[in-house]
Chains A and B, each alone.
Chain A
């Protein structure tokens, strides 16, 4: 009786069911399992449900997408790329003058000098844009899709350092002015 109880525990264990589901059982085990199924209603029902589930899932067909799927996806990709290019161009237009100003401030220049530098750059826009495009093409070939992130990180770092530098300068100027008034 005790032997039967221990055996039942074996048939009800996860380990056995896992092996059974993967088909990793010997012929002797299969015979013993069939004998157990004849006397255990719980396992019989569960095994029947398991087999029915297997039948349902393996018989279910692989669904198909619509006939326009390829065309629609390619169109979506083109639109996505166009949108991404516009964003990149916008980001460059925003980041380049800001980086130039940050660089000027870092080199010890004033805000007005930075504005003057941007104005000078603006005057040479016709010359600068093709140069910038060529540089970007070369860099994008070297860095691939990581380029926008590298450029953005570099520019933001520069701007952050310059802002910090500018804030410290402004703060110390205000402090010195107040002290001289006293």
Chain B
């Protein structure tokens, strides 16, 4: 982060905040969305993340990369939100207009739109089987393209913990997919044909 922008943000200047939001709104929103699974809640949470970022900016070390620090603020905020939710929570609350569902312009025909929607649904189900921390790791890995070291910085975990937790999360998702999607096909194929 530019040192002038950092100083301006430290003074609480709105123009500095505007610049930071313009640059990071999409990754922060995406992280919140993947973690919370609800478009409206993710938007609210992402706004709160930027406000929290401004109030905590004095704790940021400008010699280090800004994105992992911001992702840490976002991850902690989303985990707090998930903790405050009722014990049983579902990502399904997103409704029809959720951002991981089909978006105009992404698909050119209705079949592709239906396919995109089904895939978005499958992604939602995959993430739902993970704990909030694992969901954060998967999001940072697949959609933010962070390295293991950056993920460790963004989550406060050690490097080895990031590696093992991410692996376990990916294996859990693969097994979930095998059970939920691929297995029915196999069992269906294995059934004797009706005479």
Chain A positions near chain B (C-beta within 8 angstroms): 14, 17-18, 21, 45-46, 48-50, 52-53, 56-66, 69-70, 72-74, 76-78, 80-81, 144-146
Contact = CB atoms under 8 A, between A and B. Distances in A.
23 contacts: A17-B171, A46-B174, A46-B178, A49-B181, A50-B171, A52-B174, A52-B177, A52-B181, A57-B173, A60-B120, A61-B103, A63-B100, A64-B26, A65-B99, A70-B22, A70-B25, A73-B21, A73-B50, A74-B14, A77-B51, A80-B51, A145-B55, A145-B58
7 pairs of A and B residues whose beta carbons are closest in the complex: A63-B99, A49-B178, A65-B29, A50-B174, A49-B174, A57-B142, A73-B47
Given A66-B43, A70-B22, A45 B119 contact: no
A49 B175 contact: yes
Interface of B: 10, 12, 14, 17-18, 21-22, 25-27, 29-30, 33-34, 39, 42-43, 46-47, 50-51, 54-55, 58, 99-100, 103, 106, 119-120, 122-123, 126, 138, 142-143, 163-164, 167, 170-171, 173-175, 177-178, 181-183, 186
Contact of B14 (A14, A21, A77): A77
A59 B143 CA distance: 10
B26 A65 contact: yes
A91 to B, nearest CB: 16
A50 B174 CA distance: 5
A69 B43 contact: yes
B143 to A, nearest CB: 6
Contacts of B27: 62
Contacts of B122: 56
B173 A53 contact: yes
Contact of A63 (B30, B51, B170): B30
Nearest to A47: B174
Nearest to B19: A70
